[in-house]
Amino acid sequence: MSNLVFYDLETTGRGESQKKTRHGQWDQILQVGAILCDENLIEKDRFEIKCSLNKTLIPNPSALLVNNLSMTTIRNTNDISSYQLMCKMLNKFKEWGRAIYIGFNSIEFDEEFLRNSFFQNLQNPYFTQINGNQRADALNIARASSVFHPTSLKILDIKKQFSLENLAKANNIDHSNAHDAMADVETTIDICRIIKKKAPELWIRSLETSSKNDVSNYVQDRDILCHHEAYYGKVYTYVTTHIGSYHNQNKAEINLFFDLKRDPRELLDLSRAELKQLNSDSKTKFLRTRRFNRHPIFMEKDYAMSFPQYESIGMNELNQRANILKNNHDFKMKVLDWHQDENENFEQKESQLDPFWEESLYSMGFASNKDKILMEKFHASDWGQKNIISEEFEQEGYKYFAKKIIYEHDSSLLLDNVRGLIERDISKKLISSNTEKWLTIPEAFAAVDDLRDEYSEDKDKLAFLEDYNNNLEEMYKEFESRLLTS
C-alpha cells in the first residue's frame, strides 16, 4: 500500500461538558483536513473544507470552543452545506485511490463519525474499509511505540501524555494552531515520521495490521503474540496466544487471547462457571479481547523478554504454555462456547418507541442494489430531480435522509406538508425539556452557564460564549414559534 491519507475532523459534538455518547448520529462534521502522502510520508496532495451548520441540530458549546468556530460563523458565513462537504470529501478521496486512512484517535472517534456522516448523506459508510482501503490510528501507533520502542518517541510524564498537544510538545513539533483540522493532520504526520525513522519495524507492523484480513493471517501463523492495551491513559503489555473468536450481541467478531502470565495447566479441568468466575476478577483475569478490524498492533514473541512480568517466566515456559493451549481443543471450545452462549442468550431491551433513523447505521443493514443505484442517481441529479428520487427508495430510512438533505439545501423544494412535518419534528426535538440522546437548547443554555463560570476571567471565551448564547436564543424563538403556529 503506497498511499497514506492522514485526516482530521472538527465537529459539533464531543464537548467536555456533555457526557452523551456521540459518534455522529446527532452531530455533524464542520471541517475536514486531509493530506495524501506516499509510503515515505512525503506529501503528494492536500484537501481542506469547511461547511455551515445544519438547521436540524445544536452544536456543543464546548466543542466549538475547542475548534474555535463561533456560532455566528458556522451559521452564516459558509456557502457549503454538510451534504456538499461530504460529497466533495468523498470525491477527493476516490480521486486519491486506494489508501490507508490514518487519524489521531480516529478508530474511536473520527471513523465512527465518518461512518454516520456518510450513512446519513446516502454514501457508503464503510468507505475506508472497502475497495482496497484500510485504516490505522496514529494514537495507537504512538502508544505501541512507548512500550515496544520506548526511545523512539518522547513522552511527557504528565496527565494526557498521549494527547496530540502533549506529544507535539515533547517532540518539539510546532502545534500552535491546535484543533484546526489541517494543523492536527500536519502534527500527526510529524509524529509518524519520528516513529517511522526511529522504530521502522514498529511502523511497518502498524501498517500491516490496518486490515482485518491481514491481522487474522498474522495471528493464525503465530503461537505467541505481543501486544498492548491502553486504559485511562496508561499502556499495558501482554504476551498471549490466540484462542479463537465469537460474535457478540451486535454481531461483531471478538477474538479471545489467553494471557500467558497464567499457567493454563491450572485451568484445563475447571468448569465453565469456574473459568468465568476467575476471569471476572481483575486479579485472576486470564483472557484478553481484541477486534481485528480496529487496528490492533501485534509484535513478534521476541519482545516478551522486554516485559518484566513475562521475562521472569522465561521464554521456554511461555512456549510450553502456548503449546499446551494449541493442542487442547476442548479447553478452547469450553472458553469460546461460554462466551458465545452468553451473547446468544443476551436479550436486547427493545425501546417502546420506534428507533430513530439516525441511530440505525448498524441495525438497518446494507442497502439493496436498487437503493445503491438510487443513491448514485440522487447525487448526480439537480435539486429538483433529487426530490423526485427521494420517493423511490425502498428503505424508508433513506427516504428520510434524502428529505433532510433537501430540506437543508432549500426547504421550499419540499411539499408544504413534508416541510411542515420536518420542521415540527426538529422543533420538538431541539426545545425539548427532557433528557434526550441529542443536545437540546435547554441543555445548551445550561452548558453555557457552566462554561461562563469556568472561564469567568477569560474575556475572549466569554465573548465567544455570549455570541453562542445570542444565537441560541434566536434559534429557540424560531423553533418555539413553529410549534405555536403549526
Domain co-membership, 374 together with 335? no
Instruction: Report DSSP letters for 396-410, one per residue.
Output: HHHHHHHHHHHHHHH
Domain co-membership, 468 together with 339? no
Using left for φ > 0, alpha for ψ between -120 and 50, and beta otherwise, residue 224 falls in beta
Give the count of beta carbons closer than 10 Å to the beta carbon of residue 369. 9
* pTM exceeds cut of 0.75: yes
Picking from 301, 327, 344, the residue at the C-terminal end of a domain is: 344
**Could you tell me which of 255, 282, 286 has the C-alpha nearest to residue 268?**
286
Q: What is the mean pLDDT of residues 310-334?
A: 97
User: Is 35 a residue whose pLDDT tops 80?
Assistant: yes
Picking from 202, 222, 247, the residue at the C-terminal end of a domain is: 202
Establish if 358 belongs to a structural domain.
no
Q: What pLDDT, in 10s, does the model give residues 128-179?
A: 999 999 999 999 999 999 999 999 999 999 999 999 999 999 999 998 888 8
The β-bridge relationship of strands 287-290 and 4-11 is unpaired
pLDDT band of residue 45 (cuts 50, 70, 90) is very high
Within 8 A by CB and 6+ apart from 321, the residues are: 241, 260, 263, 264, 265
Domain co-membership, 216 together with 321? yes
Residue 350 has a pLDDT of: 44
Residue 36 has a pLDDT of: 98
Q: What is the CATH number of the domain that holds 183?
A: 3.30.420.10
Q: What is the mean pLDDT of residues 301-320?
A: 97
Establish if 114 belongs to a structural domain.
yes
User: Is 2 a residue whose pLDDT tops 90?
Assistant: no
Domain co-membership, 386 together with 440? yes
Q: Are 18 and 62 in contact (CB under 8 A)?
A: yes
Mean pLDDT estimate for the chain:
94
Lowest mean pLDDT among 1-5, 275-279, 423-427: 1-5
Establish if 121 belongs to a structural domain.
yes
**Could you tell me which of 177, 53, 29 has the C-alpha nearest to residue 468?**
53
Establish if 54 belongs to a structural domain.
yes
Domain co-membership, 325 together with 277? yes
Q: Are 209 and 218 in contact (CB under 8 A)?
A: yes
Cα-Cα-Cα-Cα dihedral sign, residues 373, 374, 380, 381: positive
Domain co-membership, 63 together with 184? yes
Total number of domains in the chain: 3
Establish if 66 belongs to a structural domain.
yes
Q: What pLDDT, in 10s, does the model give residues 51-98?
A: 999 999 999 999 999 989 999 999 987 789 999 999 999 999 999 999
Q: What is the CATH number of the domain that holds 218?
A: 3.30.1520.20
Give the count of beta carbons closer than 10 Å to the beta carbon of residue 473. 12
Domain co-membership, 427 together with 321? no
Q: Are 304 and 313 in contact (CB under 8 A)?
A: no
User: Is 23 a residue whose pLDDT tops 90?
Assistant: no
Between CA 242 and CA 249, with CA 246 as vertex, the angle to 5 degrees is 145
Residue 14 has a pLDDT of: 64
Domain co-membership, 419 together with 478? yes
Residue 485 has a pLDDT of: 83
pLDDT band of residue 346 (cuts 50, 70, 90) is low
User: Is 293 a residue whose pLDDT tops 90?
Assistant: yes
Residue 343 has a pLDDT of: 83
Establish if 350 belongs to a structural domain.
no
Rg (CA), the chain: 25
Give the count of beta carbons closer than 10 Å to the beta carbon of residue 336. 15
Domain co-membership, 310 together with 407? no
CA distance 333 to 119: 37
Query: For 404, which DSSP code?
Result: H
Establish if 356 belongs to a structural domain.
no
What are the φ and ψ backbone dihedral angles of 307, each rounded to 5 degrees? -110, 115
Q: What is the mean pLDDT of residues 180-196?
A: 97
User: Is 27 a residue whose pLDDT tops 80?
Assistant: yes
- Amino acid, res. 142: A
Q: What is the mean pLDDT of residues 390-412?
A: 97
Domain co-membership, 332 together with 378? no
Domain co-membership, 192 together with 289? no
Give the count of beta carbons closer than 10 Å to the beta carbon of residue 383. 11
What does the block give as the cell for 147?
512500550
What are the φ and ψ backbone dihedral angles of 314, each rounded to 5 degrees? 95, 145
Residue 233 has a pLDDT of: 86
Look at the block and give the residue holding cell 490492533. Answer: 296
CA distance 124 to 144: 31
Distances (CA, A) of 243 to 238, 284, 316, 370: 14, 18, 20, 41
Q: Are 146 and 235 in contact (CB under 8 A)?
A: yes
CA distance 310 to 320: 13
Q: Above pLDDT 90, what percent of the chain?
A: 89
Domain co-membership, 397 together with 476? yes
Q: Which domain holds residue 265?
A: 211-344
Q: What is the mean pLDDT of residues 301-318?
A: 97
Residue 176 has a pLDDT of: 85
Establish if 148 belongs to a structural domain.
yes
Picking from 310, 329, 344, the residue at the C-terminal end of a domain is: 344
Residue 222 has a pLDDT of: 96
User: Is 476 a residue whose pLDDT tops 90?
Assistant: yes
What are the φ and ψ backbone dihedral angles of 136, each rounded to 5 degrees? -140, 170
